[in-house]
Structure 1
Amino acid sequence: MDTTAIQQAAITLASRRLAGQQGPLLAAAQAPATLQDALAIQQAVSALLGNSAGGWKCGMPSDGRLVLAPIYASTISHGDTCHAWVRDGVVRVESELAFVFAEGLPPRAGAYSRDEILAAVSSVHLALELIDSRFDAEPKPPFLQALADGLVNQGLHLGPALPLAAALAAAAMPLRVQQGERDELLDGVHPAGDPLAPLLWLAGYLQQQGQGILPGQAVITGSYAGVIHLQPGEPAALGFGELGQLLVCCQPR
């Protein structure tokens, strides 16, 4: 893709993100054909928004796919309230663990070791990824267009902190969703089988690109139970097995 096509695609996606709108797939001339195209559109969207990356969502690469997208600082919340776009009367979230880096991992010539990355993690939190797409529900966007759009991320809500050792052992856990009369138990399994593995991959990938994890950034590494629908404006409690409970009320943006 040339720079004009990348910019046009980014304008479309950035405009929809700001307005909370969804729309059709990118026109053929603007659609990414390679991973590099999709990541270039991601970067152009970030530049247009003027919104720094407060974190990353990532997963293990597979079948020629990269699971990588910025989480914008202005969309990261704490406490008992988060704000999200409402679709079909619900807010969509995914249960995650978030690794937070107070001092970051600056770019350097050599790769960081596992021990160095763990030493740089300042805290781990129960978290909810806020889910939304800038595309209409149908047809389902091709992976490269979804990647260009940030892989359905619209934000991140950070809950209580937990011990690092407990987070590293959390390959699976029961999840409990309580809201109003709803009381649902879900089988939670990390998609990589190891919540740390995608973080190690991300740190290495960013280093290869001459980047790093910046001070204060949070990294989520995979959903334990897929998309969960919450009712906006109604308090909810999400239990993460023995790791703790996240209390939140999602308010419409």
Structure 2
Amino acid sequence: MVHAEAAAAALLKEHDDRTPFHSIRADYSIDDLDDAYEIQASLVRRLRERNNADIAGYKIGLTSPRMQTMCGIPHPIGGSVLRNRVHASGGEALLSDFVHLGVECEIAVRIGRDLSDGYLPSTVGEMAEAIAGIAPALELVEDRQADYKSLDMLTLVADNSWNAGVVLGEFRESWPDLEAVEGVVERNGEVLDRGHGRDVMGHPFVPLLWLCRHLAKRGNALRAGDIVMTGSMTPTYFPSSDESIRFSLGSLGAVEYRFKARD
């Protein structure tokens, strides 16, 4: 039987102590994903209490082949985003505040109406009817110097799928064909990588269909106003010095954040 409360307390202490990421599955009898998400729920509750922060929405990770290959995990994972970790484009983060900060470039959506067991979309078209806005976004991930060659999926999920915050661009109430939209990642004005909406499970709304069912299985649901990160179009980038990361989505605009090595 999983020791969820003890595992969540241990993960929180490891973050406080800046302990490098490692598997805790044997220490706390974590046998499967259900166990891992039970620990995640306890960890998120502790973080909410510590920060006096509500859940602003959710992240979906590992939604592109390149991200799944990077982490060696062949399916999506989910996590919660706390409201105190939601940032506006144009701000900055201090790298020394993190053990090892990564940046992922994504399409964020704002949910327009409650989605519960009574109404769970089953197609991309039905999902689109529940979306109030689309924005370019960056996810901040704290991998605590994880070794990707021996990455333990269950500990990763238990650790709230590594979410350390999100940076949001301006939300647009209409959008072009998201399969074809190109995302361009730039570092200090120089192109680093490119991706397309279709790289995210064929369409960025497909992960949302997965999330609806994931939440329903755990007695939860997407609500109007929730922000959801649909997954990175390109592999995680790890800033190492003073640099500005910009992610643009054509007519959908851009999001930008600066990362500083020191004050």
TM-score with structure 2 setting the length: 0.78
CA distance in 2 between partners of 1:18 and 1:122 (Å): 37
Question: 1:225 and 2:223 equivalent?
Answer: no
CA distance in 1 between partners of 2:107 and 2:17 (Å): 28
Q: Percent identity?
A: 22
Question: 1:195 and 2:200 equivalent?
Answer: no
- Structure 1 gaps of 5+ residues are none
Q: More deviation in 233-242 or 140-149?
A: 233-242
For residues 198-223 of structure 1, the C-alpha deviation after alignment (integer angstroms, 9 at most, x for no partner) is: 11221233234332113432111121
Alignment correspondent of 2:9: 11
Alignment correspondent of 1:149: 159
Aligned residues: 247
TM-score with structure 1 setting the length: 0.80
Alignment correspondent of 1:34: 32
Letter in 1 for 2:162: V
CA distance in 2 between partners of 1:198 and 1:187 (Å): 20
CA distance in 2 between partners of 1:142 and 1:89 (Å): 18
For residues 22-68 of structure 1, the C-alpha deviation after alignment (integer angstroms, 9 at most, x for no partner) is: 34431623152111100101001012222432111125699885511
For residues 86-109 of structure 1, the C-alpha deviation after alignment (integer angstroms, 9 at most, x for no partner) is: 48997420110000125x425343
CA distance in 2 between partners of 1:75 and 1:119 (Å): 27
Deviation at 1:144, TM superposition (A): 1.2
- 1:135–1:141 CA contact under 8 A, matched in 2: no
CA distance in 2 between partners of 1:88 and 1:49 (Å): 16
The structure-2 alpha-carbon separation of the partners of 1:183 and 1:72, relative to structure 1 and needing over 3 Å to count, comes to same
Secondary structure of 2:129's aligned partner? helix
CA distance in 1 between partners of 2:42 and 2:159 (Å): 11
Question: 1:140 and 2:150 equivalent?
Answer: yes
Question: 1:48 and 2:46 equivalent?
Answer: yes
Letter in 2 for 1:224: M
For residues 101-159 of structure 1, the C-alpha deviation after alignment (integer angstroms, 9 at most, x for no partner) is: 25x42534343455554333221110001111256447733111111112222111101
- 1:171–1:193 CA contact under 8 A, matched in 2: no
**Structure with greater proportional strand content:** 1
Deviation at 1:237, TM superposition (A): 3.0
Q: More deviation in 78-87 or 27-36?
A: 78-87
